[in-house]
Structure 1
Amino acid sequence: MIVLVTGGSGLVGSAIRELIESNPVEGEKWVFLSSKDANLCNYEETLQLFQKHKPTHVIHLAAMVGGLFQNMSHNLDFFKSNLDMNNNILQASFECKVSKVVSCLSTCVFPDKVTYPITEEMVHLGPPHPSNFGYSYAKRMIDVANRAYHEQHGCQFTAVIPCNIFGPHDNFNPQSSHVIPGLMHRMYNTIQNGGESFTVMGSGKPLRQFIYSKDLARLFVWVLREYQEIDPIILSVDESDEITIKNAAETIASAFGYQGELVFDTSKADGQFKKTASNGKLRKYCPDFKFTPFQQAVKETVDWYKENYHTARN
């Protein structure tokens, strides 16, 4: 079993690597790739990579990703790059007779106007939120391709849909990051500069489910080894663990020991108000899975970030 992990140096890839290195399984070889290994938007480079490593299994994490404001201004770039990348990975997997591919989607693929909680059957029931439609539609097409490859060629290609991910090795650049690492970066700098107040973009009212990258890594490996469906599966914390952006900012401030005032800039866009996802399907398979408490996961991430600030993706 040779497992090729694209995006292997990123947030989720790094968490999977740490998990595999601490719990090696005889008969499994894992290869973690980064953007330095090949341009996955180029099919010839992608195919050469597969021919070199000869994977039997693939975890496809590589993507062009960014936060709310970057998505809003670059929807075309997100659409084209991710569409090319995903098509190349699946076609190379088919040509090289890969036994199983697990790709990573996102809860933003779901329709903007939908009943909650979201379930796996709702992916294609309407247009996604207009703020990131380029990224969302490109990711949705993985599910379409998975079904088509299975129907026409019998391929075992599937996908997972995690809620908002955070943890060590994240992208902390506030211009392109997601909300938690962006807040951590700016709060770190505010503390270093002796700032007495900290501004959070937006009202702080939107609701989100956050999953710790180390928990997601355990679930990803379970999907690779055990999950047999072509249909995607949502990997999310429970609905009861959904919190506001304000709660997240307060938890981050507490983890840093920051005593200053939190100010919410309501002139900035909030994005989608909520995208509550059901993990009912996951709970049927893994009823006893224990998620790391949010406060603990944030504290571990903040501690990692402070220790690795100068080498982190800032």
Structure 2
Amino acid sequence: MSEIKVGPMRVLVTGGSGLVGKAIEHVVQQEGGKLDGEEWIFLSSKEADLVDIGQTRAVFEKYHPTHVIHLAAKVGGIYQHMKENLQFLRDNIKINDNVLDTAHKMGVTKVVSCLSSCIFPDKTSYPIDETMIHNGPPHDSNFGYSYAKRMIDVQNRAYFQQYGHRYTAVIPTNVFGPYDNFNIEKGHVLSALINKTYKAKNDGTPLNVCGSGAPRRQFIYSLDLGRLIIWVLRKYEETDPIILSVSEEDEVSIKEAVDMITKALDFKGEVHFDTSLSDGQMKKTASNAKLRHYLPDFTFTPLEEAIKMTCDWFVTNNDIARS
């Protein structure tokens, strides 16, 4: 397929200091993902608050990107989402509208935004694919964040219809890896569990896991996702979103993931599943058939290996990890 870019790209990555931004930076700088003449700018929230339109415009005027990978979002763990759905809705709508509107006004060639598997309808048939995103309401626990993310897909279609812009979006399943937020309250499930297990091991206490351990998830290692997002930026020409995920048969239960974490961290203590706490969505199995149509030979890092590398990174970088 022909490449979209004309001449050297100047790529602005919003949310550049987060989990996925750091993975893309690693691929670009350590794995030869950068082409001659290209410039990559990894923007952190310290440099601009994208909820604010003035700060968003200022940062675009500073760097004049030709392409944008939009990862920035207000995110949190399930219990924080349940308490603050309105705030997650409003802040994310502002961030996304500011980035897309500024990109449009400044003539950006392409924007690749990052959605989330939590946007999928709560009540649906499985596996879910890209055509089913808007087929029903998302799970109640984080509906604010989910609807804000869905609106990026709506805006992308509108920008294409009105202006012919090739803005698109990727939908990763549960992402984890180095530089994740390992905070036990606010982090995503794997990173929070890694920190919890590490603390339990050091304190000599049981590991207390929220919920039954029964929910099933497709986990994608952040470096695999980084490689795929760069491919989307260069090669993927649709405005319709694309699910970036391991296959359906690679889905695991939270309990299986806990077993991999305790093995990786050599935790020998007792594991207790607190069934008085919410499990959230029991499953949200996604189809990666569209991705496989384009990239039949892409190899994902095996989950156990990726969990081990993430645990090792967390232990080594415990002083700098967000926890």
TM norm. shorter chain > 0.5: yes
Choose which of 194, 208, 219 in structure 1 pairs with 2:228.
219
- TM-score, length-scaled by structure 2: 0.96
Q: Counterpart of 1:146?
A: 156
- TM-score, length-scaled by structure 1: 0.99
Choose which of 36, 44, 66 in structure 1 pairs with 2:46.
36
Choose which of 286, 290, 294 in structure 2 pairs with 1:285.
294
**Match runs of 1:61-76 below 5 Å:** 61-76=71-86
Amino acid at match of 1:251: M
Does 2:93 match 1:112? no
Choose which of 5, 18, 33 in structure 2 pairs with 1:10.
18
- Name which of structure 1's ranges 182-191 and 98-107 shifts more when overlaid on structure 2: 182-191
- The answer as to whether partners of 2:204 and 2:269 remain within 8 angstroms in 1 is no
Cα-to-partner distance string for 1:151-194 (whole Å, 9 max, x where unaligned): 00111110000000000000001111110000011111111112
Does 2:248 match 1:239? yes
Shift of 1:27: 2.1
Q: Following the alignment from structure 2 to structure 1, what is the Cα–Cα distance between the partners of residues 25 and 153?
A: 25
**What secondary structure, in the 3-state scheme, does the structure 2 residue paired with 1:156 have?**
coil
Amino acid at match of 1:67: G
Choose which of 102, 125, 130 in structure 1 pairs with 2:112.
102
**What secondary structure, in the 3-state scheme, does the structure 2 residue paired with 1:291 have?**
coil
Q: Following the alignment from structure 2 to structure 1, what is the Cα–Cα distance between the partners of residues 320 and 40?
A: 24
**Match runs of 1:149-168 below 5 Å:** 149-168=159-178
Does 2:270 match 1:261? yes
Q: Following the alignment from structure 1 to structure 2, what is the Cα–Cα distance between the partners of residues 39 and 103?
A: 17
Q: Following the alignment from structure 2 to structure 1, what is the Cα–Cα distance between the partners of residues 85 and 184?
A: 18
Cα-to-partner distance string for 1:92-119 (whole Å, 9 max, x where unaligned): 0000000000000011101100000000
Q: Following the alignment from structure 2 to structure 1, what is the Cα–Cα distance between the partners of residues 37 and 164?
A: 25
Percent of aligned positions with the same letter in both sequences? 57
Q: Following the alignment from structure 1 to structure 2, what is the Cα–Cα distance between the partners of residues 208 and 136?
A: 17
Aligned pair count reads 313
Q: Counterpart of 1:125?
A: 135
Q: Counterpart of 1:298?
A: 307
Cα-to-partner distance string for 1:70-100 (whole Å, 9 max, x where unaligned): 1111101100010000000000000000000
Q: Which runs of 4+ in 1 moved over 4 A?
A: none
Q: Following the alignment from structure 2 to structure 1, what is the Cα–Cα distance between the partners of residues 82 and 216?
A: 19
Shift of 1:206: 0.4
- The answer as to whether partners of 2:208 and 2:272 remain within 8 angstroms in 1 is yes
- The answer as to whether partners of 2:25 and 2:42 remain within 8 angstroms in 1 is yes
Q: Counterpart of 2:5?
A: none
Amino acid at match of 1:53: Y
